[in-house]
Amino acid sequence: MERSAAGRGEADGTERDSQPDPHSVFARSLDRTVGAALREGIAPDSPAAAEVVDRLLDHPGPERRAAVRARIRAQLDAGIDGRLERYRRLLAILQDQQPPTPRTAAWSWLADAIDAIDARGSRS
């Protein structure tokens, strides 16, 4: 049975690869924003953290800001696990690949920052 060109592209991954992976895009943005905040010593409960979170979330408007933060916070609750990061790192090493950038500290900072922003009722 012969497949169309589009079908072959999807089967070998070339069609999908033309679109950026949203998780990778968010991870790179996390490194640029939260990673920079960590390196600069910005505390997650400081007023400057709210601007970092807004930059990461692409400046959602005031009417969407709290909902976007809540959605991200819920995902963080489900996914911050240092064991998973260590597992992925070990798996990459065993497969002779570049280990992923460690992000547990950034995820934890982001969760703490969202909690602090919500506690202050800042910019909701």
pLDDT tens-digit series, residues 64-74: 888 888 888 88
**What pLDDT, on the 0 to 100 scale, is given for residue 1?**
43
Q: What percent of the chain has pLDDT over 90?
A: 32
Q: How far apart are CA 83 and CA 94, in angstroms?
A: 16
Q: What percent of the chain has pLDDT over 70?
A: 83
**What's the pTM?**
0.68
Answer yes or no: are the C-beta atoms of 99 and 93 closer than 8 Å.
yes
**What pLDDT, on the 0 to 100 scale, is given for residue 17?**
57
Alpha carbon 65 to its chain centroid, in Å, reads 17
